[in-house]
């Protein structure tokens, strides 16, 4: 049988180098939104919805119906717009079930009150490895692919796989593995599973692009291209070599500018902290912890 081919449209955010996606079934015109970004100006402490609204405008112009709002993991470099888009569309929001582990980890770092929920109840659906669902008539399979975070998952939607921050374009490499809960050995295993289980022609869509050499943003490759050309994980590179490369590279990387801002929002399904008695929401920044 021919593998269904969804229509995939990427929306690039140059501030955070993030890619958001609309993944549509051309037959039913139903779609999923993957990894949407909520704008945040850290200097002014102000959120806004320009990116999410641009996606909604595209959905309307194309005559699409939003069936799912999907995050691949709790992002460290931008706020998730999942909560905002749920309010606008009524579509359910979903993430991997191991977000509960991330919630518990960051609850300790932020010293949140004991009653703060860490059971994932903020989402409508928590996906486990091997879970299936549909976008329109196109089957979707969930692959648990940790290493970059404890909760990272890959959505395989027809012939397209949304590999979040696990892999980047073949000319750039792979995701960092030095966040709390991350692990380079685990990341290598997740990447090899993606590259060995999925057919060679599978389209791979990444969560970021850092435009090496000043080229234009890119976010699509194939399994064959990754196995042949990715300098971190091309065929022939073993786990020990990958881990050594990854650790040396991570040692020189600064933490993302928004990690301490973003995790307290993204472990809450994109919802801002509850307003205090003056009606204002506040972010809490732990000092000297990363």
What are the tens digits of pLDDT across the range 80-93? 999 999 999 999 99
Rounded to an integer, the average pLDDT of 181-192 is: 97
Distance CA 237, CA 272 (A): 42
Instruction: Name residue, tokens 């002014």.
Output: 44
How many CB atoms within 10 Å of residue 32?
27
State the pLDDT confidence band at 128, using cuts at 50, 70 and 90. very high
Which segments of the chain does DSSP mark as H helices, in order? Answer: 50-61, 82-89, 99-110, 184-197, 223-229, 239-251, 259-266
Q: Which of 74, 84, 51, 40 is closest to 283 using CA atoms?
A: 40
What is the DSSP code (8-state) at residue 147?
A: S
Of the chain, the percentage scoring pLDDT greater than 70 comes to: 100
Using CB atoms within 10 Å of the CB of residue 261, give its burial: 0 to 12 exposed, 13 to 18 middle, 19+ buried: buried
Instruction: Catalogue all structural domains in the chain, each as residue range(s) with its CATH number.
Output: 7-255 (3.60.15.10)
State the pLDDT confidence band at 290, using cuts at 50, 70 and 90. confident
pLDDT surpassing 80 at residue 1: no
Q: Please state, in angstroms and as integers, the Cα–Cα distance from residue 113 to each residue in 100, 128, 210, 287, following that order.
A: 16, 28, 37, 18
The mean of the pLDDT values for the chain is 97
State the pLDDT confidence band at 95, using cuts at 50, 70 and 90. very high
What are the tens digits of pLDDT across the range 209-249? 999 999 999 999 999 999 999 999 999 999 999 999 999 99
What are the tens digits of pLDDT across the range 144-181? 999 999 999 999 999 999 999 999 999 999 999 999 99
State the pLDDT confidence band at 60, using cuts at 50, 70 and 90. very high
Q: Please state, in angstroms and as integers, the Cα–Cα distance from residue 154 to each residue in 34, 131, 151, following that order.
A: 11, 11, 10
């Amino acid at each position: 049988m021919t593998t269904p081919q969804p229509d995939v449209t990427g929306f690039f955010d140059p501030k955070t180098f993030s890619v958001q996606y609309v993944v549509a079934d051309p037959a039913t015109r139903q779609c999923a939104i993957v990894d949407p970004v909520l704008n945040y100006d850290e200097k002014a402490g102000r959120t806004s919805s320009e990116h999410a609204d641009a996606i909604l405008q595209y959905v309307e112009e194309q005559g699409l119906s939003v069936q799912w709002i999907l995050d691949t993991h709790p992002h460290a470099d931008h706020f998730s717009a999942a909560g905002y888009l749920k309010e606008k569309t009524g579509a359910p929001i979903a993430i991997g079930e191991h977000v509960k582990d991330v919630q518990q980890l960051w609850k300790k770092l932020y010293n949140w009150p004991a009653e703060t929920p860490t059971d994932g109840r903020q989402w409508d659906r928590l996906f486990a490895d091997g879970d299936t669902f549909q976008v329109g008539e196109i089957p979707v399979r969930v692959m648990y692919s940790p290493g970059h975070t404890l909760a990272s998952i890959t959505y395989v939607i027809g012939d397209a796989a949304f590999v979040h921050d696990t892999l980047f374009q073949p000319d750039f490499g792979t995701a960092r593995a030095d966040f709390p809960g991350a692990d380079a050995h685990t990341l290598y295993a997740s990447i090899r599973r993606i590259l060995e289980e999925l057919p060679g022609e599978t389209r791979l869509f990444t969560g970021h692009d850092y435009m090496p050499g000043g080229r234009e943003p890119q976010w699509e490759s194939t399994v064959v291209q990754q196995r042949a050309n990715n300098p971190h994980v091309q065929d022939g590179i073993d786990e020990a070599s990958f881990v050594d490369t990854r650790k040396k590279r991570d040692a020189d990387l600064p933490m993302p500018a928004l990690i301490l801002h973003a995790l307290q929002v993204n472990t809450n399904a994109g919802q801002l902290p509850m307003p205090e008695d003056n009606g204002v929401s506040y972010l809490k920044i732990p000092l000297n912890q990363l």
